[in-house]
Every structure is written in C-alpha cells, then in structure tokens.
Amino acid sequence: MGNKFICMKKKDTRGGDGSRSKRLNRSQRKLLAEEEMLHRRALSMAIHQAQLSQRFDGSMSRRVGSTSSRRRTLSDPFSNGKQVEEFLESLKVKNFVLVHGEGFGAWCWYKTIASLEESGLSATALDLTGSGFNLKDTNSVRTLEEYSKPLIQHLENLPEGEKVILVGHSTGGACVSYAMERFPEKISKAVFICATMVSDGQRPFDAFAEELGSAERFMKESQFLIYGNGKDNPPTGFMFEKQHMKGLYFNQSPTKDIALAMVSMRPVPLGPMMEKLSLTGERYGRGRRFYVQTLDDRALSPDVQEKLVRENPPEGVFKIKGSDHSPFFSKPQSLHKILLEIAQIP
C-alpha cells in the first residue's frame, strides 16, 4: 500500500500511448480510492477500540512534571458523570485541532482523538498538504504557506467568534506558529509537542541541526534526500529508511502503532522545513503557548527541547517520562491528561 501511495508519478501521455495512460491513471485513482477507504476503516476501528478500552479503564497516567509557575490538580474526568459535567462547564474552549509532524498524517492522532471525544471534547485532525490522505505530490510543496494550507483553510472557516486549542507535533509546530501569526484571534492556546517552536527568523530545520547537521550540509550530503525534479536540481524532500525511522521516532511505541506508521509515513517536503518564519510580537507574541517535552526522544533530544523552551519561553512546560518522539503512541494517556490540564488553565 505504502509504496503505491507515496511514489506515484505521472505517465507520459504524448503520442499513441495517450489512451493507455488515461486508462492507467483511472486505474491508479481507483486503486488509491480503495486503499484510502480501507485505511480509513482501519483507523475508524482503532478509534472505536480505543474508546471502548477507555470506558473500562478510566485511569490516566500521572503527570510527570511541569515548569509552569502554578501547580494545579487535575481530576480524572472519567471518574463519574458529575465530574464530567463540571469539567466541561469549566472549559471556555472545547475544540482541539491536531497538526501532525513531518512524514506523519492525521492518522497518527487516533488515540488522542478517541480520548478527547470520550472526555466530551471535539477533536479535528488535519492532513497537511502532501501528507496522509492528501494526494498532492510532496515534491511540489515548496513553501510553508502551501504546506499549511489545510490548517489555514480550517481556521478561516471557523464560525465567527469561535476559538480552538491548536496542537502541533514535531515540525508541525512551525505550522502552528505560522497559524498563530495569521489568526491570533482564533487560537485560544497553542500546544507544542516535542515540536519546532521556533523564534522569528528561524527555520523549522534549525531545531534538528544538532542531530542532522547544518542545513547546508544536510542538503549536500544526506542519504535520505529525494530529488523529485532530477539529480541535477536541488532536492525536493527527504524520507528516512524504515529501520532508521523506527529508532528515531518509535523507540518506545507499541508494535501495532509502528506497523501502522510504516505503511502510512510519507516523504517530507523540504522547502517548508528550510523556510524562515516571520513572527511578530503583536500577533504571534500575544498567543498563549505551552510545551510538552518527551524525555526519551531520539529525534529531538531533551536537551534540544530544553534549549527551544529556554530561547522562546512558553507559558507552561510539561514533561513526559518514557516517551519517544511519538507520545500519541508511546504515552497516550500522559499526553491526554496534559492536554486536559492545559484546556483547564484559566
């Protein structure tokens, strides 16, 4: 499934092969549609199973640390119906928008969606351009604006006066920052999960420079680059090999979730990762930001995450022990509890 889904290229429709190419294109589109339907059914079943298990196992992982200036206690919203009602009444904003990181898609949030919905909240997970089920060719995505387009359109279409809690994972943090600059009035809070919470003038890639080397060196020497426009032109994307990916992103994740990721991950467009963000104090600076650190992370080390927090201080910082770069897989209950606590902050 994964290879056909990721690596489609247009056939040459010139000359006498035109009708044959059209038939092939129709066949490919039909195959992709069938694969997408099957994949969506599998995710729907996974979400349903997570909801069922949540009903019978109400325990939530203990919060493992916060550098927020105020200490707060979060009651378990699954304890009884009265607490659920009180919890929901205490929230002014009940809508979460989940933004995936590099190579991922909306599919990676299935446990988080199930938990939030079980808490009586609304959760929307988006596929960024060229990611997940968005069939745009990754090699053609050149700017952060284009990459973030599904998120921007979603925010544009919100009813007047409605706000959301925006959650970004890994390089999806750059899309969250971009959205905060565009729509500060529509974002109640922004949560960066082991994410590239960059400052003005920085690139999303800069956060990974300690692990991957300088951007210039990476563009010249990396073995994971993709040349969608030919070797004579600059690289258009990158994608780690499966074994490398497992070690970087999923060193603490369950086997079933790793299997899902291996058939669902797609190449990362390089242009948006190398683009410097323009963030102003008047717009981005007035947003409420929270950071979630993952302490067993091999893709974005705890030291680098601490540096991001130190250089661009958020309102609160939370830490999850034993989490790899994908806490929605490795520590979903800890992540869920933190999201609920952030939602409750006045």
Query: Order of strands across the sheet with 122-126?
Result: 122-126, 95-99, 164-169, 187-193, 289-294, 316-320
Q: What token pair was written down for 344?
A: 């409750």
- Each of the 346 residues of the chain gets a pLDDT tens digit; together they read 433 333 333 334 444 455 554 555 666 566 555 555 555 555 555 554 444 433 333 323 333 333 333 333 343 444 455 666 677 777 889 999 999 999 999 999 999 999 999 999 999 999 999 999 998 999 999 999 999 999 999 999 999 999 999 999 999 999 999 999 999 999 999 999 999 999 999 999 888 876 665 556 555 556 789 999 998 898 999 998 999 999 999 999 999 999 999 999 999 999 999 999 999 999 999 999 999 999 999 999 999 999 999 999 999 999 999 999 999 999 999 999 999 999 999 8
Contacts of 130 (CB under 8 A, 6+ apart): 136, 137, 138, 140, 141, 147, 266, 267, 269
> Rounded distance, CA 289 to CA 188, Å?
9
Please tell me the predicted confidence (pLDDT) of residue 208.
82
Burial bucket for residue 215 (CB in 10 Å: 0-12, 13-18, 19+): middle
Please tell me the predicted confidence (pLDDT) of residue 50.
46
Name the H helices within 68-143.
81-89, 110-118
User: Catalytic positions, please?
Assistant: 170, 297, 325
* Cβ–Cβ < 8 Å for 201, 303: no
Give residue 257's identity as a one-letter amino acid code.
D
Q: Which CATH class is domain 18-344?
A: alpha beta
Name the maximum alpha-carbon separation found in the chain. 72
Please tell me the predicted confidence (pLDDT) of residue 73.
35
Please tell me the predicted confidence (pLDDT) of residue 74.
40
> Rounded distance, CA 135 to CA 13, Å?
20
User: Domain-by-domain residue ranges, the chain?
Assistant: 18-344
Closest CA to 237 of 137, 311, 159, 149: 137
For residue 184, give Cα distances in angstroms to 210, 214, 287: 31, 32, 6
244 CB neighbour count, 10 Å cutoff: 12
273 CB neighbour count, 10 Å cutoff: 23
> Rounded distance, CA 244 to CA 345, Å?
38
Q: What is the DSSP letter of 77?
A: T
> Rounded distance, CA 197 to CA 186, Å?
19
Written in H, E and C, the secondary structure of 27-57 is: HHHHHHHHHHHHHHHHHHHHHHHHHHHHHHC
Give residue 284's identity as a one-letter amino acid code.
Y
